[in-house]
Protein backbone atom coordinates (compact mmCIF):
# COMPACT_ATOMS: atom_id res chain seq x y z
CA UNK A 1 0.00 0.00 0.00
CA UNK A 2 1.05 3.62 -0.56
CA UNK A 3 -0.57 7.01 -0.01
CA UNK A 4 -1.51 7.29 -3.69
CA UNK A 5 -3.19 3.87 -3.58
CA UNK A 6 -4.90 4.82 -0.32
CA UNK A 7 -6.37 7.91 -2.04
CA UNK A 8 -7.53 5.86 -5.03
CA UNK A 9 -9.27 3.48 -2.63
CA UNK A 10 -11.03 6.36 -0.87
CA UNK A 11 -12.13 7.86 -4.19
CA UNK A 12 -13.58 4.51 -5.30
CA UNK A 13 -15.99 4.60 -2.35
CA UNK A 14 -16.56 8.37 -2.32
CA UNK A 15 -20.24 8.07 -3.27
CA UNK A 16 -21.12 5.97 -0.23
CA UNK A 17 -23.69 7.45 2.22
CA UNK A 18 -21.13 7.98 5.00
CA UNK A 19 -19.32 10.46 2.73
CA UNK A 20 -22.38 12.69 2.25
CA UNK A 21 -20.73 15.57 4.12
CA UNK A 22 -17.87 15.65 1.62
CA UNK A 23 -20.07 15.30 -1.47
CA UNK A 24 -22.78 17.85 -0.65
CA UNK A 25 -21.54 21.45 -0.43
CA UNK A 26 -24.80 22.61 1.17
CA UNK A 27 -24.38 20.11 3.99
CA UNK A 28 -20.78 21.27 4.35
CA UNK A 29 -21.95 24.85 4.83
CA UNK A 30 -24.49 23.72 7.45
CA UNK A 31 -21.75 21.76 9.24
CA UNK A 32 -19.33 24.71 9.15
CA UNK A 33 -22.03 27.05 10.46
CA UNK A 34 -22.95 24.61 13.23
CA UNK A 35 -19.34 24.57 14.44
CA UNK A 36 -18.92 28.35 14.09
CA UNK A 37 -16.22 28.03 11.43
CA UNK A 38 -15.80 31.02 9.07
CA UNK A 39 -16.78 30.26 5.47
CA UNK A 40 -18.11 31.95 2.34
CA UNK A 41 -21.73 33.13 2.66
CA UNK A 42 -24.36 31.17 0.71
CA UNK A 43 -26.35 33.54 -1.54
CA UNK A 44 -28.58 31.30 -3.68
CA UNK A 45 -29.27 27.66 -4.48
CA UNK A 46 -31.45 26.03 -7.12
CA UNK A 47 -31.53 24.52 -10.60
CA UNK A 48 -30.21 26.06 -13.82
CA UNK A 49 -33.74 27.00 -14.89
CA UNK A 50 -34.28 28.80 -11.58
CA UNK A 51 -31.13 30.90 -11.93
CA UNK A 52 -31.73 34.58 -12.72
CA UNK A 53 -29.43 37.05 -14.42
CA UNK A 54 -29.96 39.77 -11.75
CA UNK A 55 -28.74 37.36 -9.07
CA UNK A 56 -25.46 36.84 -10.91
CA UNK A 57 -25.03 40.53 -11.73
CA UNK A 58 -25.25 41.69 -8.09
CA UNK A 59 -21.56 41.29 -7.36
CA UNK A 60 -18.55 39.01 -7.81
CA UNK A 61 -19.48 35.46 -6.84
CA UNK A 62 -18.65 31.76 -7.07
CA UNK A 63 -21.08 29.50 -8.92
CA UNK A 64 -20.75 25.72 -8.62
CA UNK A 65 -22.71 22.43 -8.46
CA UNK A 66 -23.76 21.48 -4.95
CA UNK A 67 -22.32 17.97 -5.39
CA UNK A 68 -19.44 18.68 -7.77
CA UNK A 69 -15.90 17.44 -7.32
CA UNK A 70 -12.34 18.38 -8.30
CA UNK A 71 -13.34 21.98 -9.17
CA UNK A 72 -15.48 20.73 -12.09
CA UNK A 73 -18.20 23.23 -12.96
CA UNK A 74 -16.78 26.01 -10.76
CA UNK A 75 -17.11 29.56 -12.12
CA UNK A 76 -15.45 32.59 -10.49
CA UNK A 77 -17.73 35.26 -11.92
CA UNK A 78 -17.25 39.00 -12.06
CA UNK A 79 -20.03 41.17 -13.58
CA UNK A 80 -18.84 43.30 -16.51
CA UNK A 81 -21.61 45.55 -17.88
CA UNK A 82 -23.85 43.04 -19.72
CA UNK A 83 -21.51 40.07 -19.40
CA UNK A 84 -19.84 37.84 -16.81
CA UNK A 85 -16.07 37.34 -16.70
CA UNK A 86 -14.93 33.97 -15.35
CA UNK A 87 -11.59 34.55 -13.60
CA UNK A 88 -10.97 30.82 -13.36
CA UNK A 89 -11.18 30.12 -17.09
CA UNK A 90 -10.32 33.60 -18.37
CA UNK A 91 -13.53 33.60 -20.41
CA UNK A 92 -16.42 36.04 -20.93
CA UNK A 93 -20.00 34.70 -20.84
CA UNK A 94 -23.38 36.13 -21.59
CA UNK A 95 -26.08 34.91 -19.22
CA UNK A 96 -27.39 32.50 -21.86
CA UNK A 97 -23.96 31.14 -22.82
CA UNK A 98 -23.20 30.58 -19.13
CA UNK A 99 -26.37 28.53 -18.73
CA UNK A 100 -25.41 26.47 -21.79
CA UNK A 101 -22.01 25.83 -20.23
CA UNK A 102 -23.67 24.74 -16.98
CA UNK A 103 -25.99 22.39 -18.88
CA UNK A 104 -22.98 20.79 -20.56
CA UNK A 105 -21.49 20.12 -17.13
CA UNK A 106 -24.72 18.37 -16.14
CA UNK A 107 -24.71 16.29 -19.33
CA UNK A 108 -21.14 15.21 -18.64
CA UNK A 109 -21.92 14.37 -14.99
CA UNK A 110 -25.40 12.89 -15.16
CA UNK A 111 -25.12 11.33 -11.69
CA UNK A 112 -25.00 14.77 -10.05
CA UNK A 113 -28.23 16.23 -8.65
CA UNK A 114 -28.51 19.22 -11.00
CA UNK A 115 -28.58 21.66 -8.09
CA UNK A 116 -26.24 24.67 -8.03
CA UNK A 117 -25.24 27.29 -5.49
CA UNK A 118 -23.91 30.82 -5.49
CA UNK A 119 -21.68 32.01 -2.69
CA UNK A 120 -20.13 35.40 -2.10
CA UNK A 121 -16.64 35.69 -3.49
CA UNK A 122 -13.90 36.04 -0.89
CA UNK A 123 -11.75 37.95 -3.38
CA UNK A 124 -11.21 41.59 -2.44
CA UNK A 125 -8.57 43.69 -4.16
CA UNK A 126 -5.54 41.39 -4.14
CA UNK A 127 -5.13 37.87 -5.64
CA UNK A 128 -7.03 35.31 -3.60
CA UNK A 129 -4.78 32.47 -2.47
CA UNK A 130 -6.17 29.10 -1.46
CA UNK A 131 -4.21 26.89 0.96
CA UNK A 132 -5.01 23.20 0.81
CA UNK A 133 -3.95 21.84 4.19
CA UNK A 134 -3.06 18.13 4.24
CA UNK A 135 -3.87 16.93 7.76
CA UNK A 136 -2.73 13.61 9.24
CA UNK A 137 -4.17 12.70 12.65
CA UNK A 138 -5.06 16.40 13.07
CA UNK A 139 -1.50 17.56 12.39
CA UNK A 140 -0.33 19.55 9.36
CA UNK A 141 2.11 17.74 7.09
CA UNK A 142 1.87 19.46 3.69
CA UNK A 143 0.30 22.57 2.13
CA UNK A 144 -0.55 23.32 -1.47
CA UNK A 145 -0.92 27.06 -2.05
CA UNK A 146 -3.12 27.52 -5.08
CA UNK A 147 -3.87 30.47 -7.38
CA UNK A 148 -6.55 30.21 -10.11
CA UNK A 149 -6.74 33.27 -12.31
CA UNK A 150 -7.31 34.16 -15.96
CA UNK A 151 -7.52 30.56 -17.11
CA UNK A 152 -4.32 29.50 -15.35
CA UNK A 153 -3.66 27.52 -12.17
CA UNK A 154 -0.32 27.53 -10.40
CA UNK A 155 0.87 26.07 -7.11
CA UNK A 156 3.51 26.44 -4.43
CA UNK A 157 4.02 23.56 -2.00
CA UNK A 158 5.04 24.16 1.62
CA UNK A 159 6.11 21.89 4.47
CA UNK A 160 4.57 22.32 7.98
CA UNK A 161 7.15 25.05 8.75
CA UNK A 162 6.15 27.03 5.65
CA UNK A 163 9.36 26.28 3.81
CA UNK A 164 9.16 25.37 0.11
CA UNK A 165 8.55 21.64 -0.40
CA UNK A 166 9.71 20.07 -3.66
CA UNK A 167 6.64 18.06 -4.64
CA UNK A 168 6.20 16.49 -8.07
CA UNK A 169 2.72 15.57 -9.22
CA UNK A 170 0.62 15.45 -12.41
CA UNK A 171 -0.79 18.89 -13.41
CA UNK A 172 1.64 20.55 -11.05
CA UNK A 173 2.52 23.96 -12.54
CA UNK A 174 4.75 25.62 -9.93
CA UNK A 175 5.08 29.30 -9.09
CA UNK A 176 7.24 29.83 -6.01
CA UNK A 177 6.27 33.50 -5.88
CA UNK A 178 2.95 32.50 -4.31
CA UNK A 179 3.52 33.55 -0.70
CA UNK A 180 2.71 31.66 2.50
CA UNK A 181 -0.29 33.06 4.38
CA UNK A 182 0.17 36.19 6.46
CA UNK A 183 -1.39 34.43 9.45
CA UNK A 184 0.57 31.17 9.49
CA UNK A 185 -0.34 30.28 13.07
CA UNK A 186 -4.00 31.14 12.57
CA UNK A 187 -4.42 29.09 9.41
CA UNK A 188 -2.69 26.09 11.01
CA UNK A 189 -4.89 26.33 14.10
CA UNK A 190 -8.04 26.61 11.98
CA UNK A 191 -7.08 23.52 9.97
CA UNK A 192 -6.34 21.62 13.19
CA UNK A 193 -9.72 22.63 14.63
CA UNK A 194 -11.67 21.45 11.59
CA UNK A 195 -9.61 18.28 11.28
CA UNK A 196 -10.16 17.37 14.94
CA UNK A 197 -13.92 17.82 14.53
CA UNK A 198 -13.91 15.46 11.54
CA UNK A 199 -12.04 12.77 13.51
CA UNK A 200 -10.39 11.26 10.43
CA UNK A 201 -6.90 9.86 9.97
CA UNK A 202 -6.52 12.03 6.86
CA UNK A 203 -8.37 15.14 5.74
CA UNK A 204 -7.71 18.06 3.44
CA UNK A 205 -8.96 21.42 4.64
CA UNK A 206 -9.10 24.13 1.95
CA UNK A 207 -8.70 27.62 3.44
CA UNK A 208 -8.71 31.07 1.83
CA UNK A 209 -7.05 34.16 3.27
CA UNK A 210 -8.05 37.74 2.44
CA UNK A 211 -7.97 41.12 4.22
CA UNK A 212 -10.93 40.05 6.37
CA UNK A 213 -9.25 36.92 7.69
CA UNK A 214 -9.39 33.18 7.10
CA UNK A 215 -12.31 31.25 5.57
CA UNK A 216 -12.79 27.53 4.99
CA UNK A 217 -13.72 26.79 1.38
CA UNK A 218 -14.24 23.03 1.45
CA UNK A 219 -13.45 19.99 3.57
CA UNK A 220 -12.37 16.71 2.01
CA UNK A 221 -11.70 13.15 3.11
CA UNK A 222 -9.53 12.47 0.05
CA UNK A 223 -7.54 14.24 -2.66
CA UNK A 224 -8.54 14.20 -6.32
CA UNK A 225 -5.01 13.90 -7.74
CA UNK A 226 -3.31 10.83 -6.23
CA UNK A 227 -0.06 11.14 -8.16
CA UNK A 228 2.56 12.15 -5.60
CA UNK A 229 6.18 11.38 -6.46
CA UNK A 230 7.88 8.45 -4.73
CA UNK A 231 9.36 10.51 -1.89
CA UNK A 232 6.09 12.16 -0.87
CA UNK A 233 4.04 9.04 -1.58
CA UNK A 234 6.18 7.15 0.94
CA UNK A 235 6.44 10.00 3.46
CA UNK A 236 2.68 10.68 3.55
CA UNK A 237 1.90 6.97 3.81
CA UNK A 238 4.21 6.72 6.82
CA UNK A 239 2.46 9.72 8.43
CA UNK A 240 -0.91 8.10 7.85
CA UNK A 241 0.20 4.86 9.53
CA UNK A 242 1.65 6.51 12.64
**What is the DSSP secondary-structure string of the chain?**
--HHHHHHHHHHTTTSGGGHHHH-HHHHHHHHHHTT--BPPEEEEE-GGG--HHHHHSS-EEEEETT--TTTT-EEEEEETTEEEETTTTEEE-HHHHHHHHHHHHHHTTTS---EEEEE----SS--EEEEEEEETTEEEEEEEEEEETTEEEEEEE-TTS-B-----SS--B-TTSPPPS-HHHHHHHHHHHHHHHT-SEEEEEEEEETTEEEEEEEESS-S-----HHHHHHHHHHHH-
For the segment 6-32, what is each residue's pLDDT rounded down to a tens digit? 888 887 776 666 678 888 899 999 999
Residue 125 has a pLDDT of 60
Banded pLDDT at 151 (limits 50, 70, 90): low
Residue 13 has a pLDDT of 73
- CATH code of 3-37+125-241, in short, is 3.30.470.20
Most confident listed range (21-30, 128-137, 150-159): 128-137
Q: What percent of the chain has pLDDT over 70?
A: 95
Higher pLDDT, 25 or 133: 133
Residue 152 has a pLDDT of 75
Average pLDDT, the chain: 90
Banded pLDDT at 147 (limits 50, 70, 90): confident
Q: In the predicted model, is pLDDT for residue 77 greater than 90?
A: yes
Report the CATH fold assignment for 42-120.
Dna Ligase; domain 1 (3.30.1490)
Q: In the predicted model, is pLDDT for residue 76 greater than 80?
A: yes
Cite the residue boundaries of each domain of the chain with CATH code 3.30.470.20.
3-37+125-241
Cite the residue boundaries of each domain of the chain with CATH code 3.30.1490.
42-120
For the segment 180-205, what is each residue's pLDDT rounded down to a tens digit? 999 999 999 999 999 999 999 999 99
Amino acid sequence: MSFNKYLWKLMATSDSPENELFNDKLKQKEWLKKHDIPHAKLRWTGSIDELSEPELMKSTCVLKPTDGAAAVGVYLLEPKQNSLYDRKKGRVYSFESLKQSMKKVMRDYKHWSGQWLIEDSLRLHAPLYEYKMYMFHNKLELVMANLKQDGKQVKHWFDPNWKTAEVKRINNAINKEIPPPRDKQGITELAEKVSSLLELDFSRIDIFENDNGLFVGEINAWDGNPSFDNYWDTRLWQKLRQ
